[in-house]
A and B are shown apart, each in its own frame.
Chain A
């Protein structure tokens, strides 16, 4: 279902995900503008404090909202709304109206510099990628450090930030079979994405280095937030070890 057209010529689609989630989506693309719209819609709907909405999962081009079935039925009943479709269509209309009246939506963003040790003992896939892309490990490091990456969304595990876009020259696919253990702090690439494993976990991304930085802890929660701009710089193994001890 096409809901409406907005000023940057993007169309919101809506579909239900099973019996307890709603998905709003734009064009399936890793794109700054599209992602900004997703976060804007997320903030807008969250600001309405709708009790029946229990969780919000903004991703690249989708916003998934998890709802409570009973609470939602009550809400529709109280507002005399016939269907869930009608309810979400009204939400999108309101959002588009809101955007017209409040033209500038911006995420509060941080610039974060992340030290990475690209030693072959930590960047365990570097050698293989160099072979596959017919380049050198030094070039991969230089290319990975040359760009600023945008945090598109958080997910997969607590604090894991999906960042992009990685230079085509070093883009590689995921491992066909995920590794049973990827160490905390591991910096990986997968297609146009780069990211850091906040804790030890199984994972399929190609690992090119490791950061001594703490990415997630239960008190300060996530280091990264959507909209942040992240750059990587290379450190030696000795620097890695001394930063790790701090």
Chain B
């Protein structure tokens, strides 16, 4: 769908599932931060699930459409308006050539997604309960689940208790590469250095100052900080949507539960 960006947002980009296959030469995967909202936007328009979507951070870009078509906006609510009239989120919105889309104010969440289409025939009605389920899942506070990583047992016993029972929060040092958290200081039993090895999205690294950084979509491929654990894939969209100073509680999880949860959440999208 043809459109002009008439005012550029701070961190907007076109995203899809990411580019795999080049991490061995250090090329990041990228892709959307919140795969649930991104897929939902495409699903509403009947698009291929992994078609490019606009990932929007506030203040978001202003768009002028150059042809008729359809959009769907999901994820964070920035109060989207077309020609200064508010429009519904999670619905097919009809666009006419010359329409101007703006985002007024961040009300909920950190990242919005916009899917686009010029094809009416593919659009089929999706159940409102499906949309509600996803939004409840994304925005209702609940612990962030993780699977212990290689350096988990290097943590002091007290730090393990701290990580499992105390509150952490998101900080302004959060972007597409990683979210730096603020919380009680954690420490390892001995100050050893680790030889760098592969990391992936959701890796929880312990920084030299005792704070945690969680690697997100544009993460580096190899890292040398102690790897405390991995946030499970289905909880990364919830983390990605947390605005500045959102409290976070961590909870232990295992691989088979994580796989079941992933299948459970992905199945309705592919039906």
Q: Are B198 and A158 in contact (CB under 8 A)?
A: no
Q: How far is the CA of A73 from the CA of B20 in the complex (A)?
A: 19
Q: How far is the CA of A244 from the CA of B268 in the complex (A)?
A: 54
Q: Does A32 contact B (CB under 8 A)?
A: no
Complex: chain A residue closest to B227, CB-CB: A17
Q: Are A154 and B198 in contact (CB under 8 A)?
A: no
Residues on A with beta carbons closer than 8 Å to the beta carbon of B230: 17-19, 21
Stretch of B5-13, B39-47, B133-141, B259-267 on the interface side: B259-267
Q: How far is the CA of A216 from the CA of B27 in the complex (A)?
A: 10
Residues on B with beta carbons closer than 8 Å to the beta carbon of A42: 24
Question: By the criterion of a CB under 8 Å from any partner CB, how many residues of chain A are at the interface?
Answer: 43
Q: Does B29 contact A (CB under 8 A)?
A: yes
Q: Are A21 and B198 in contact (CB under 8 A)?
A: yes
Q: How far is the CA of A160 from the CA of B262 in the complex (A)?
A: 33
Given A18-B232, A30-B195, the answer on whether A69 and B259 have CB atoms closer than 8 Å is: yes
Complex: chain A residue closest to B148, CB-CB: A18
Given A28-B195, A66-B23, A176-B208, the answer on whether A73 and B263 have CB atoms closer than 8 Å is: yes
Q: Are B258 and A154 in contact (CB under 8 A)?
A: no
Q: Are B200 and A17 in contact (CB under 8 A)?
A: yes
Contact with B along A129-161 (1 / 0, CB 8 A): 000000000000000000000000111111110
Q: Does A62 contact B (CB under 8 A)?
A: yes
Q: Are A16 and B147 in contact (CB under 8 A)?
A: yes
Residues on A with beta carbons closer than 8 Å to the beta carbon of B24: 42, 55-58, 154
Residues on B with beta carbons closer than 8 Å to the beta carbon of A28: 194-195
Partner of A64, one of B21, B200, B255: B200
Partner of A18, one of B23, B149, B195, B223: B149
Q: Are A158 and B200 in contact (CB under 8 A)?
A: no
Q: Does A93 contact B (CB under 8 A)?
A: no
Q: Are B198 and A23 in contact (CB under 8 A)?
A: yes
Identify the 8 closest CB pairs spanning chains A and B, nearest first.
A18-B230, A64-B198, A155-B222, A57-B198, A19-B258, A62-B197, A54-B20, A155-B221
Q: Which residues of B come within 8 Å of A, CB atoms?
A: 20-29, 146-147, 149-150, 193-200, 202-203, 208, 220-223, 227, 229-233, 255, 258-259, 262-263, 266
Q: Which residues of A come within 8 Å of B, CB atoms?
A: 15-21, 23, 25, 28-30, 42, 54-64, 66, 69-70, 73, 84, 153-160, 162, 176, 191, 216, 221-222
Pairs A–B under 8 Å by Cβ, sample size 17: A15-B150, A16-B147, A19-B232, A19-B259, A21-B230, A28-B194, A28-B195, A55-B23, A55-B24, A57-B24, A59-B197, A69-B263, A153-B222, A155-B23, A156-B196, A156-B223, A158-B27
